[in-house]
C-alpha cells in the first residue's frame, strides 16, 4: 500500500498494479472499453514480451467491438501504450517521450493484432497516436501521460500542453 501511495504522489514510477487499478476505476465494465492488464504482457524489452501467445490470445478472447487499452511497461522504467479501436479498425501506439521505445511497442502492437479473436475486424496497420499533451520532459510522469492518452483515445477533451505543476496536480 505504501508503494501505491508513493506512486500516486509522484515519488515512484507507477507500478503495473497501480496502473491497472487506475484504469479499472476510469473505465468501468460495460463502458465499451476493455482494460488489458500490463502484468499479462510482462515487461517489454526491445519489442519482445515474456508472455506466451496463448496467454495473450486468451486475455483478448472476450473483445468484440470494444476499445482495448493496453499499458506497456518498457524495460521496467517507462510506460507506453497500445490503443485498439475494434469498431474503427485502428491500432495506435503512444510514447509520451517520443523515444526509441516506440519501435518496440509498435512490434508488440503488430503481434497483438494477429492474436485478436477471429470474429473481430482486424486493423490494417499500426499508427502513432498524436496528442496535444506535448513531449514528456521528465523521467517519471510517463504513466500520467499514458492515462491521459487513454482518456483522449476514448473521447475525453484534450488538455493541451502540460507543465510540471499541472502534471503534479493530475497525479
The set of residues, in sequence order, having a beta carbon less than 8 Å from that of 27 and lying 6+ positions away, is 33, 35, 69, 150, 154
Domain that includes residue 61, residue range: 2-170
Cβ proximity of 85 and 98 under 8 Å: no
Q: Which CATH number is 33's domain given?
A: 3.40.395.10
- Work out how many domains the chain is built from and give that number: 1
Q: How many residues does the chain have?
A: 171
pLDDT in tens, the chain (171 residues): 444 544 555 556 788 888 999 899 889 888 889 999 999 998 899 898 989 999 999 999 988 878 999 999 999 999 999 999 998 899 999 999 999 999 999 999 999 999 999 888 888 889 999 887 778 887 778 898 899 999 989 986 655 555 555 555 554
Which pLDDT value is given to residue 165? 54
Amino acid at each position: 500500500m505504501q508503494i501505491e501511495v508513493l506512486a500516486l504522489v509522484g515519488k515512484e514510477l507507477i507500478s503495473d498494479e497501480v496502473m491497472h487499478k487506475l484504469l479499472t476505476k476510469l473505465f468501468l465494465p460495460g463502458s465499451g472499453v476493455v482494460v488489458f492488464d500490463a502484468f499479462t504482457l510482462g515487461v517489454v524489452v526491445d519489442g519482445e514480451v515474456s508472455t506466451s501467445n496463448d496467454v495473450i490470445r486468451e486475455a483478448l478472447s472476450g473483445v468484440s467491438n470494444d476499445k482495448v487499452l493496453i499499458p506497456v511497461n518498457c524495460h521496467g522504467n517507462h510506460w507506453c501504450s497500445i490503443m485498439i479501436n475494434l469498431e474503427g479498425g485502428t491500432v495506435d501506439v503512444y510514447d509520451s517521450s517520443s523515444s526509441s521505445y516506440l519501435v518496440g511497442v509498435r512490434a508488440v502492437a503488430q503481434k497483438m493484432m494477429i492474436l485478436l479473436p477471429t470474429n473481430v475486424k482486424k486493423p490494417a496497420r499500426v499508427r502513432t497516436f498524436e496528442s496535444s499533451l506535448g513531449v514528456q520532459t521528465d523521467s517519471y510522469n510517463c504513466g500520467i501521460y499514458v492515462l491521459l492518452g487513454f482518456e483522449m483515445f476514448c473521447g475525453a477533451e484534450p488538455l493541451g500542453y502540460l507543465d510540471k505543476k499541472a502534471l503534479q496536480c493530475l497525479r
